[in-house]
Chain A
Amino acid sequence: MRKADSMKGGFKERGRRKLLLASGVLLLALTLVGLVAVLEKGPISIPVTVGAHPFNRGPFGAHSLYSMLSSNYTVTPVYNWSQALAQLANCSKALIIIVSPEIQYTQGDVEAIRGFRDKCKEIALIIGDETGSSNRILEALNSTIRIQGALSPNPHPIVSIETPWGWRGLLALDKASTLTTKGAPTLIGWDLLAGEAYAYYEDMGSFKAVVLGDGSIFLNQVLQSNASEPYKSFLSSTVTHLCGGECTVYLEASKYQGLEPMKALEYMRDPRKAALIDPSSFLATIIANAIHPSTWLPPLLNYINNLVLSLSRDVSLGGILMIFSVLALTLMLMSKIERVPDAFLEDVREVDWYGYGELSGRILAEGARLGKRDFLTLYSIVDGVLKSLTGASLESEDAVKVLESRGVEGAKAREYWRFMNKYYRRALGKTLWPPIVFWGRVCRESIELSESVLRALGVSLMEVKGLEERTV
């Protein structure tokens, strides 16, 4: 029972090992396939966001704006205006915020933003732009306001803001652009010193727009600074006014350049450019690229190849390495192979429980060795037969007469008697004559002689039915 249990345990252990081996090999194979596939696909390109991107946490990013709005509204960063429009459904009120776009709007973008106006009952627009890239949007939405695009000679104008919804205050702008208009929008921001227009509010019923000639007031460096309160307040009151109770905010995220990791790395060397870069996305990009097989696998293979080539040029070192690699490869291949001795099936070994089988076999094969002891045994046998049948001993000379009486020729009987007793006395050590005796030969001769004598007495040494009954 214990043996069965231990066997069962052994099988379980072996099964578990097999399972581990199979799953391990499968995992390794899948990993290799995956590595090759990823390698084949090329390095990943996660662009490092630059500029007023909603996810740029750098000084020139707009992540603070995004966070601020997200706390009260549903904010959707728009990476593609056409896709955003396609996903739009049941839109009652939408607010589009565009901050300092760096890439020109395409016709597709313009059509999509116009589609927002068509799909939504009400649409509002906040533009903070000093480049003039947003003018196409304003034009498409039939706004009369335009951004000049040329930076104001006054680098940091102090603008007085007075809005119809009641917010008043002074805001310091950065490198801003003045605004123009062919219509009659409400001027809500002007330079205190030069009187130039920097902010308009236009209400066209279902479309409202607030346009500022500077996007810097929406950037992290402003909203995260110690003097951020008026900016936040202005922003908050403007969004509240445009959105009312509830609306969806669409934050521009498609018109900012993405930097390749290596380029971003170059930017990082320059402190001014470094401020443009989102550090978290930069870090993520660096890590992702570092662990990507396309970064390390080809150079690694190349390195190994070069190493092997350089080693192989050195004959002695190459030879040693070859021997080690042969051994390692062989051991690795052999370690998982179960080995058994190549033995033939053991055939049944037939046995004879034959007490004298060995003796019989030896006699049959080569004839047994005969010696002095065997001669004495033979003498004893013949003596026993004579005694049991005739009462005469072979030692006695009477045996000759007895044998004669049983039909043995007289001379032969005497010769036999002499022969047997001569060697009998010699065997017992009673005489030393003959000095040299070959007992084997003597035994063979005595067997032949005895057989003829014993046959005369009716028994035989050589027949199957022999003389045991007479002698023992």
Chain B
Amino acid sequence: MSGIVASTGRVSAIILVASALIALDVFWAVDSGALGLTLIGFLAALRVYNAVAQTSLSACRVYVDVKGSVEGKPLTVEYNVCNNSWIPIALVEVSLVYPSYLKLVRGSPGGLTVIPPRECVKYRAELLARVGKHKIGPLKAVLRDLFGFFRGLELTLGDPVEVKVKPREDESLRRVLLEISRSVGLSRARRPGEGSEFYATRDYKPGDEVRRVYWKALAKGRMAVKEFERESTLHTLFLILADKSMLYGPQLSTPLEHIARITVTIARHLASKGDYVGLLVVSNGKTLGGRLERGWKGYRRVADALSNIDYDSIIGSTENPESGISPEQLVGKLLASTPSREKVNVILINTVEGTEKYSRQFKKLQSLKACTLHSFIIIPHLYGIEKLKAFERAVYRIKTYEDTRKAYDKVRELRREGIKAVPVTPWDAAAKIISKLETVRGLA
């Protein structure tokens, strides 16, 4: 029983006072011995109660509930701690364990409570949901008493809960994508061919089918035929080489989260057009997702893969690229997830640091014939600028201008080394990617 409850420094002070009272009584016949003994007796009784309450606390039943799975929305964590004994448990200090990269938006990370006998108490906190897989909980608990004389052993209440948060689709981004790609229907190649959408008219050539003759033009004396826009199907694989540099930035505005939003929004856009879409995430030598699927199935797989990104794995990754995935392994993973007959557009969005780190992998991917690599390098210094006011934004720009310029210089350097990468800012990345895809579609 003694091991589960320990005393604090206050007990020493009280024992000193009690000893003094007893000694006064013994040596100077002051009537204080009874008070001294009462104090010691009180301490002993309190200690026994704490030990009993600690045992009851360790036997409490805990029910955990986590709600919310969309990025940017509250992630509600609820712990119900039920005291099954007849002993009131007072006081219990609790503290929620959650990843340090998550932000508590409502509630307190900890607090003090009393658990009445045969009753339950509820602890609720709201975290800001970030895309990826997170481990939340358990609830740390320590028993104290009202006077702060004793402190129980630290206990964990409940088990950690794994939460998967899907990226939020950016509506403004979707509108931009629609503007760029011109339609919401099936993909068109901006070239005449087989299809259902009218493309243009041209002069009749012998051999043209009669049903294609453009009668309105014929009525005006011109022999012309209608041409239809060729429908095409794109095979797009998003590749995310996640490392620590992807996590730099304010919450919800890190490159990783931004890339996740761009990826899921573009994936939805492509899925609505019936294209093949997939996502391969490489983090700390491990891969996630990868298989190309057509339409909505592909979109769902992309969203699932993004919600499975493990932050802890990224944080724990080493700076040495050789300890991660080798270029050959990456190519192997990539080829395994792509169809052999179709050329796949690999969209690789990365930071400057990530691109430097994985330069060998980049070059290897560029040399592949089975796919076309489209690399986009985002400039991380600009993330979070939207949180500042106008004048402050100008000051921030001036202060970070040198670093931003250096980042662009590095991109140029990488390009000179043979890595065909396009620098993008947070606000033009999606537009540039979809433009590139639409260009490819047009050429197909």
Q: Which of A's residues lie within 8 Å of B, judged by CB?
A: 14, 18, 308, 311-312, 318-319, 321-323, 325-327, 329-330, 333-334, 337-342, 344-357, 359-360, 363-364, 367-368, 370, 374, 377-378, 380-381, 443, 447-448, 451, 461-469, 471-472
Contacts and interface: CB of A to CB of B under 8 A. Distances in A.
B399 A347 contact: no
B381 A325 contact: no
A357 B394 CA distance: 16
Given A338-B3, A340-B7, A447-B394, A356 B12 contact: no
A354 B384 CA distance: 9
A351 B104 CA distance: 11
B384 A333 contact: no
A65 B137 CA distance: 91
Contacts of B100: 348-351
A353 B93 contact: no
A472 B23 CA distance: 82
For the complex of A and B, 3 pairs with smallest distance between CB atoms: A461-B394, A462-B390, A342-B8
Contact of B96 (A323, A348, A464, A471): A348
B102 A350 contact: yes
12 contacts: A308-B27, A330-B15, A341-B9, A344-B93, A350-B100, A350-B102, A350-B103, A353-B244, A355-B248, A381-B398, A462-B391, A468-B382
Interface in B75-99: 93-99
Interface residues of B, number: 78
A345 B400 contact: no
B3 A359 contact: no
Given A345-B154, A348-B98, A472-B408, A466 B397 contact: yes
Contacts of A463: 390, 393
A345 B95 contact: yes
Contact of B401 (A319, A337, A370, A377): A377
Contacts of B3: 14, 18, 338
Nearest to A338: B6
Contacts of B393: 461-464, 466
B384 A447 contact: no
A451 B221 CA distance: 58
B267 interface: no
Contacts of B19: 325-327, 329-330, 333
B444 interface: no
B392 A364 contact: yes
B27 A322 contact: yes
Nearest to B148: A342
Contact of A312 (B29, B95, B109, B425): B29
B402 interface: yes
Contacts of B103: 350
Contact of B7 (A339, A363, A381): A339
Contacts of B26: 308, 312, 322, 325
B72 interface: no
